[in-house]
Amino acid sequence: MKVKSVLAAALAAAAVVGMSACGSSGATNDDSTITFWHNSTAGDGKAYWEQVAKDFEAANPGVKVEIQAIQNEDFAGKIQTAMQDPSTGPDVFMALGGEKTQEMIDAGQLMDLTDKISDTVKTDMKTALKAATYDNKVYGVPVSVEPGGLWYSKDLFTKAGIADTPSTWEDLLKDATTLKDAGIAPIALGAKDAWPAAHWYYWIALRECSNSVYEKSVQDKDFSDQCWVTAGEKLEELNKLNVFNDGYLTTTAQQGANSSAGLLANHKAAMELMGAWEPGVVKDLTEDGKAMADLGFFAFPSIAGGQGEKGALMGGVTYFSVNATAGDNAVKFVNFIGEQKNQEAYAKAFSTIPASEPARAVVTDPALKQVLEYLDKAPSMQLWMDTELGTNVGNALNSAVVNMLSGNGTPEDIVKAMQDAGAKG
């Protein structure tokens, strides 16, 4: 019996030790191994990162890059958990951006790269670097720039007899009505995910609010300016025309043929407001799995009487940050990612716009080239509003927009929701 109880005790102890051992599978301070987290779990993107890691290992003998590809939806939660103790977290990882990155900086988890990034990164990515700069300090190396705008089916526009893409808000409303009268669902909207619906509000606000008001409001989280209410009213005006696809409140953004991107891909809806990732997403949702032949792009229209900068864009910048406790090799690795040839390969693998300006020459997709044209002309590019505001206020804003679209709220409620959220976090 005694032997047994000793055995049992040993077993229990082993189980406890075993459980705690599971927690320490992250990075080590050992500089020769770099743990690297990204979010491309399949296809060309995954292959691209494997290739980059291999090239880096070849250029730096003795250094090993350990890759972990994590599903995008799980990424934020996992990185947050892993970085509870930075010494066990990954060395290089895709940054969450906006205020989440700010919070990680405040918690001392990110390395200040201001003096560590290479000159190539500094010059080639001058504009994109702004998104990774906080308080004049650089906390990441960008890889892609994804401005948003309206993606549309050229065939459906022609079918409804629309010759030119709309450049003003009035034109957009008129064209939407024309499409609807022709029996075509004008605008696909994945409101189940909230953010696609909220993007309409962001863009209208960007057109309505002057640059200084916009930046100050977002910075101070003070939305008392009238333009924030006007933006909601404009969106309600659009919603009242019934131009969103039937059942848009329960439509997802990217999952399957019934999602908003799927509706556009299969010519069930004429246009969608989305970021520059749209061609890649639509490609996976067409019937034959090939790129959508008649996919076109136009910038968000201007709004008469709006104070916003003409041609201003909004979008996302993907960048990679370095763990505050990581060694020199991790810094070398992010600089390596920023080199022109790697950026060119990135643009091809992800069919997107690379952060490095000289690398943009490799973009061949006609719709993406159009995006580039607008990007070159744009006086400024804001980050997605929810990213910039941080998850707390951003989440409240997104929910409030869905509330309004479903008829449960007013434009004033959107402003109120953003202000109320401040109390919860």
Partner 1 sequence: MPPKKLGFVRTRINDVRSAMSATNRIAVVPDARLRHNDKEANMKTTKTSKQSSGKGRNRLEILVLSAPAIILFVGFVILPIILGAYYGLYQWKGFGSPSTNGKFVGLQNYIIALKDPNFQAAIGHPLLIMIGSLVIQGPLAVLFALLLNQKFKGRALIRTLIFVPYVVSEVIVGTGWSLLLQKTGAVNQILTSIGLPAVDWLANPKIAIWTLLLIISWKYIGFAVILMLAGLQSIPEELYEAARVDGAGFWQMQKNITLPLLAPTLRIWAFLSMIGSLQLFDLVYIVWGNYVSTTAGVSTMATYMVREGRGAGNYGYGSAVALIIFVISLIIALTYQKFVLNRDLDGALTDGKAKKKFGFKKFKNESSNTQVAASEAVLAASEGEEK
Exposure string (b/e) for 278-290, b if CB count within 10 Å is 16 or more? Answer: bbbbbbebbeeee
Minimum CB separation from partner 1 for residue 70, in Å? 16
> How many residues comprise the chain?
425
- The whole-angstrom separation of Cα 288 and Cα 382 is 35
**Site residues (CB under 8 A) for partner 1?**
1, 5, 8-9, 11-12, 15-16, 77, 80, 83-84, 100, 103-104, 106-109, 191-194, 246-247, 249-252, 258, 390-392, 395-396, 398-399, 402-403, 406, 408, 421, 423-425
**CB neighbour class for 377 (10 Å; exposed up to 12, middle 13-18, buried from 19):** exposed
Nearer to partner 1, 43 or 422 (CB): 422
Q: Which helix (H) or strand (E) holds 353?
A: strand 353-354
Compute the least distance from the CB of residue 170 to partner 1, in Å: 29
Please give the radius of gyration of the chain, using alpha carbons only, rounded to the nearest integer.
23
> Smaller CB distance to partner 1: residue 21 or 423?
423
> For residue 369, what are its two tokens?
């080239």
CB-wise, 174 or 416, nearer to partner 1? 416
CB closer to partner 1 out of 14 and 59? 14
Please report where in the chains the tokens 């091809």 appear, as a residue: 348
Residue 231 to residue 414: CA distance in whole angstroms: 10
In the complex, the smallest distance separating the C-beta of residue 132 from partner 1, rounded to whole angstroms, is: 18
Of 322 and 345, which CB lies nearer to partner 1 in the complex structure?
322
Report the nearest approach of partner 1 to the CB of residue 194 (Å).
4
Residue-wise DSSP of 236-257: HHHHHTT-BPTTGGG--SSSST
Task: Supply the minimum distance, in Å, between the C-beta of residue 239 and partner 1.
Answer: 13
Give the residue with the Cβ less far from partner 1, 29 or 408. Answer: 408
- What is the nearest approach in angstroms of partner 1 to the Cβ of residue 301? 26
